Amino acid sequence: MKNKKICPKCGGNEIYFVGGDSGAYGAGNNIPLSSVGRAWNNIPVDRYVCGNCGYSEEWIDHKYLTQLKNSKIAHKR
Ligand SMILES: [Zn+2]
C-alpha cells in the first residue's frame, strides 16, 4: 500500500497519506517512548488510508527504527 499505491483489501488505487506527528503530551498519531509525554520522545506513525474502502496501514519511517528498537517498549518477537 505504501509502495505500490494499491489497497491490498479492495484493489483500489485512491490512497491517501496521513503523516504522523508528535505534538505536546503525546498528541497526534505516534508511539510514546516515555511516560513523560515529551514530544521529542515520541515516534511519529504515518498512515496510508484507502479512499475506497477505508482500510489503513501504519508505517514508521526508517529514520526512527533504531530509536524504536533501542527503546524499552519495543520487544523483539
Ligand atoms: Zn481499499
- Domain of residue 22: give its range: 15-65
- Position 72 in a domain: no
Whole-number Å distance, alpha carbon 29 to ligand 1 midpoint, is 21
Residue 68: closest CA among 34, 38, 35: 34
- Position 1 in a domain: no
Residue 21: closest CA among 61, 66, 65: 61
Whole-number Å distance, alpha carbon 55 to ligand 1 midpoint, is 5
- Position 75 in a domain: no
User: How many domains, in total, are found in the chain?
Assistant: 1
- Position 58 in a domain: yes
DSSP 67: H
Whole-number Å distance, alpha carbon 17 to ligand 1 midpoint, is 13
Write the pLDDT tens digit of every residue in 26-67: 677 888 776 554 445 788 999 999 999 999 999 999 999 998
Q: What is the pLDDT of residue 39?
A: 46
- Position 20 in a domain: yes
- Whether 25 has a pLDDT exceeding 70, the answer reads no
- Position 73 in a domain: no
Q: What is the pLDDT of residue 40?
A: 58
Whole-number Å distance, alpha carbon 58 to ligand 1 midpoint, is 14
pTM, rounded to two decimals: 0.78
- Position 7 in a domain: no
Whether residue 60 contacts residue 45, with contact meaning beta carbons closer than 8 Å, is answered with yes
